[in-house]
Amino acid sequence: MTRTVPGRTDHVVVVGAGLAGLSAALHLLGAGRRVTVVERDPLPGGRAGRMELGGYRIDTGPTVLTMPDLADEPFAAVGDSLRGRVDLVPLHPAYRARFADGSSLDVHTGAEAMAAEVERFAGAREAGGYLRLRGWLERLHRAQMRRFIDANFDSPLGLLCADLARLAALGGFGRLDARIGRFLRDERLRRVFSFQALYAGVPPARALAAYAVIAYMDTVAGVYFPRGGMHALPRAMADAAADAGAELRFGHEATRLERSGGQVTAVVTGQDRIPCDAVVLTPDLPVAYGLLGRAPRRPARLRHSPSAVVLHLGTDRTWPHLAHHTLSFGAAWRTTFDELTRTGRLMSDPSLLITRPTATDPSLAPPGRHLHYVLAPCPNTDIGPGAAAWTDLAPRYRDELLRELERRGLDGIGSAIEAECLVTPATWHAQGHAAGTPFSAAHTFAQTGPFRPRNLVRGTENAVLAGCGTTPGVGVPTVLLSGKLAAARITGGPGRSRAPLPRAQEASA
């Protein structure tokens, strides 16, 4: 039996209307709680925000939606549905991978289509290896989801279950790169199934093989794009919460918490004092701990994931070799991860994610125009250039990125730009993200599962954390789960899927 918030929990204030906060709000509403959501920005989304720039509608955060069934759970909690509110477009291919030797591979999530593509790319033996890898990824996902990802932990003893033995038998506690290498010999293919370790903040050579579950989400479960952009997801969640009876207060930043002993009694914003029985805090950990006035003791300082430079470009042309998502790999690999996680240098031979959302939804740009989102991983401000250094570094790095894109076949990109926005670690730092990274604490072994900062904080009985810094971790599916797990700490529910409940207004009719 996991710990829950004691006493009355009739009225819950959720701080932050990002994906985690909206997920928590919907699950709380479905369990019959009265919910008030306060959000400092004028619109929902948090990291998954929206920027309007010269007629271009730009997603400021995630560009990839996987595991849509997990995204549907918060809607189902109030008798609603994701697909009833959002038009999800499956992406085929999910990604296009382009390599320094000029070769390219379309990543399909269907087994037959991907096996055929791997055979074309690297031969029949590698295609057979891919099918064996796919089976292993599916078994790995089944072993982890119920007990290690979609679960609250009160202590490491919570790991002791049959699924732990299954995970060990699958090699989940070995190294990711080595385990992928058992199935695939082609080094280019191994990159496609291991680059996801970057999300976890750990090089594939050092990451636990269990983190291949992220590759399962990307390469097996399917990749989708909401029509209207990724921001359509939090917007739909906010609408569903409002329809289910939540009070949403945008432009209201939580400035402090009132307490009585170990209880939070009210959330104070710049405009209001909101009494509450419990509170869910979704800002990045330093902000959440600052509101609580305390942080948990840890034997070692938290290590953070690498950050990213993002160049949003509105252009008057595009390039036909770009898919919706294109992974452009440099020739270097191991040295890239050393630069990002050890030496703190900018990538000397970068691997880039180039997203072209207008390939799927042209309405995100003016007629005849195109959006491109270029993400270049970079060291966080703990080990790389500090936030202040990016003032001078940013324009130089922007120009270097454009030169690199030219070298990789995006000829004339500099002259094609009509609107642009550059986001750097200094931007993330100004938004309150620790170490200038939107990817929060790295998923090292000592910062995973029951060892990750927990969603209950000692010394405060009725505050629960949600978001990528706490359980279960980074990524859209896991952040949505973090909101569900936070709600379960308050409602006493299991925090797992259940039958939909009627909408609040229908139930009271």
pLDDT confidence of residue 114 = 97
**Which helix (H) or strand (E) segment is 82 a member of?**
helix 82-85
First to last CA, the chain: 35
DSSP calls for 226-289:
ETT-TTHHHHHHHHHHHHTT-EEEET--EEEEEEETTEEEEEEESS-EEE-SEEEE-S-HHHHH
Mean predicted confidence (pLDDT) in 425-452: 89
Beta strands (DSSP E) in 379-428 are 417-423
pLDDT confidence of residue 206 = 86
Residue 466's domain comprises 11-49+67-88+228-302+444-491
Residues 346 and 420 in one domain: yes
pLDDT at residue 261 is higher than 80: yes
Q: For tokens 């910062």, what's the residue?
A: 447
Contact 188, 93 (CB under 8 A): no
Residue 355 lies inside a defined structural domain of this protein: yes
Express the helix, strand and coil content of the chain in percent, nearest 5 each.
Answer: 40, 20, 40
DSSP calls for 309-356:
EEEEEEES---TT--SEEEE--S--HHHHHIIIII-PPPSS--EEEE-
Residue 95 lies inside a defined structural domain of this protein: no
pLDDT at residue 279 is higher than 50: yes
pLDDT confidence of residue 506 = 31
pLDDT confidence of residue 488 = 96
CA distance linking residue 480 with residue 267, whole number of Å: 23
**Which band of pLDDT confidence, cut at 50, 70 and 90, is reported for residue 68?**
very high
Mean pLDDT of the chain: 91
CA distance linking residue 2 with residue 23, whole number of Å: 20
**What would the pLDDT profile of 478-504 be if each residue is shown by its tens digit?**
999 999 999 999 998 754 333 333 333
pLDDT confidence of residue 152 = 83
pLDDT confidence of residue 2 = 79
Mean predicted confidence (pLDDT) in 47-72: 94
pLDDT at residue 389 is higher than 60: yes
Residue 55 lies inside a defined structural domain of this protein: no
Percent of the chain having pLDDT more than 70?
95
For residue 430, give both structure tokens. 């100004």
Residues 142 and 264 in one domain: no
pLDDT confidence of residue 184 = 97
**What would the pLDDT profile of 164-210 be if each residue is shown by its tens digit?**
788 888 888 889 999 999 999 999 999 999 988 877 788 888 888 88
Q: Which among 197, 1, 204, 156 has a CA at the least distance from the CA of 471?
A: 156
Within 10 Å of residue 262's Cβ, how many Cβ atoms?
A: 12
Q: Is the whole model's pTM more than 0.85, yes or no? A: yes
Residues 316 and 419 in one domain: yes
pLDDT at residue 455 is higher than 90: yes
Mean predicted confidence (pLDDT) in 91-112: 96
Residues 421 and 308 in one domain: yes
pLDDT confidence of residue 155 = 62
Residue 291: give its domain's CATH number.
3.50.50.60
Q: 507 in helix, strand or coil?
A: helix
Residues 198 and 126 in one domain: yes
**What would the pLDDT profile of 287-297 be if each residue is shown by its tens digit?**
999 999 988 87
Q: Is 223 left (phi over 0), alpha (psi -120 to 50) or beta?
A: beta
Q: Which among 450, 451, 461, 509 has a CA at the least distance from the CA of 489?
A: 461
- Residue 59 φ/ψ, nearest 5 degrees: -75, 130
Residues 159 and 267 in one domain: no
Residues 308 and 430 in one domain: yes
CA distance linking residue 307 with residue 433, whole number of Å: 10
Residue 189 lies inside a defined structural domain of this protein: yes
Mean predicted confidence (pLDDT) in 25-51: 97
* Final residue in a domain of this structure, among 435, 467, 500: 435
Within 10 Å of residue 415's Cβ, how many Cβ atoms?
A: 9
Q: For tokens 């409940």, what's the residue?
A: 501
pLDDT confidence of residue 208 = 85
* Final residue in a domain of this structure, among 201, 219, 237: 219
Q: Which among 404, 323, 332, 311 has a CA at the least distance from the CA of 104?
A: 323
Residues 427 and 322 in one domain: yes
Contact 415, 460 (CB under 8 A): no
pLDDT confidence of residue 501 = 30
Q: Which residues neighbour 124 within 8 Å (Cβ) at sequence distance 6 or greater?
A: none
Measure the CA angle with vertex 479, ends 346 and 493; round to 5°: 160
CA distance linking residue 385 with residue 307, whole number of Å: 11
User: pLDDT: is 164 or 475 the higher one?
Assistant: 475
Residues 315 and 238 in one domain: no
Contact 485, 152 (CB under 8 A): yes
Q: Which among 8, 15, 505, 5 has a CA at the least distance from the CA of 274?
A: 15
pLDDT at residue 403 is higher than 90: yes
CA distances from 390 to 51, 150, 319, 425, 431 (A): 22, 38, 30, 7, 15
In the beta sheet, which residues pair with residue 65? 224
For residue 453, give both structure tokens. 């900062």
Query: DSSP label at 211?
Result: G
Residues 424 and 327 in one domain: yes
pLDDT at residue 507 is higher than 50: no
Residues 308 and 294 in one domain: no
**Which band of pLDDT confidence, cut at 50, 70 and 90, is reported for residue 159?**
low
Count the residues in the chain: 509
pLDDT at residue 447 is higher than 90: no
Contact 341, 334 (CB under 8 A): no
Residue 94 lies inside a defined structural domain of this protein: no
pLDDT confidence of residue 499 = 30
